Amino acid sequence: MNPPKDTLTPDYFDAVYRANEDPWQFATSPYERDKYAATLAAMPRPVYESGFEIGCSIGVLTQQLAPRCRRLLAVDVSEAALKQARQRLADQPQVRLEQMVLPGEFPDESFDLILLSEVGYYWSMEDLLKAQTKLIDHLQPGGHLLLVHWTPQVHDYPLTGDQVHDAFMAKTGDGQPLQHLFHRREDKYRLDLFTAPPPPAA
């Protein structure tokens, strides 16, 4: 069976959360626990001024990310997931939780940390590239863009984790908008850290 070509819709995720409040076992899986620890360890700064988490789901990673950000915007396409996230993050006033469908919707602000974790393969390649342009445009000079994705193919998903990360690797190098800082590959996930280089001195 060939994977779908189109971006998965909010209805897809709402149905998943209706069937199971924690469908990917974010709160209980040792895989997720270890991956979250690696994600936080890969962030070079102890604290960021303005973070953006795309695909926060029920807020398990968001809860761990919050102390590292003075302000954190966490978004998801599913209101069912956000309901749980709001309960989990109720004691974190620096966190804003919003329903947002990227790349068609996008916040009108810039960030020194953008986290795209387990989301990119839900997009079509066309939408991934649209999102990529917006992520780069909204990443502050010297800011960090961190990608973490499951690498085995899932037939429900338009892309693989490697396709997502390779698309961002193509934006690195001379004359490109990103610099690649760090790579880690485990048995079932890949992590890549990028930065937006500061503009050249006048």
Q: Given its phi and psi angles, is residue 38 left (phi above 0), alpha (psi -120 to 50 degrees) or beta?
A: alpha
Q: At what angle do helices 161-169 and 125-137 cross, to 10 degrees?
A: 50
Amino acid at 113: L
What's the pTM value of the predicted model, to 2 decimals? 0.91
When pLDDT is cut at 50, 70 and 90, the band that residue 189 belongs to is very high
pLDDT in tens, 153-182: 888 889 999 999 999 999 999 999 999 999
Average pLDDT for 99-109: 96
Residue 142 is predicted with a pLDDT of 96
- Start-to-end Cα distance in the chain: 54
Report d(CA 167, CA 172) in Å as an integer.
10
Tokens of 93: 């006033």
**Count of CB atoms within 10 A of residue 95's CB?**
24
In this prediction, residue 6 has a pLDDT band, given cuts at 50, 70 and 90, of confident
How many C-beta atoms surround the C-beta of residue 32 within 10 A?
18
pLDDT, residue 156, reads 86
Q: What's the pLDDT band for 21 if we cut at 50, 70, 90? A: low
Query: In the chain, what are the domains?
Result: 10-195 (3.40.50.150)
Q: What is the mean pLDDT of the chain?
A: 91
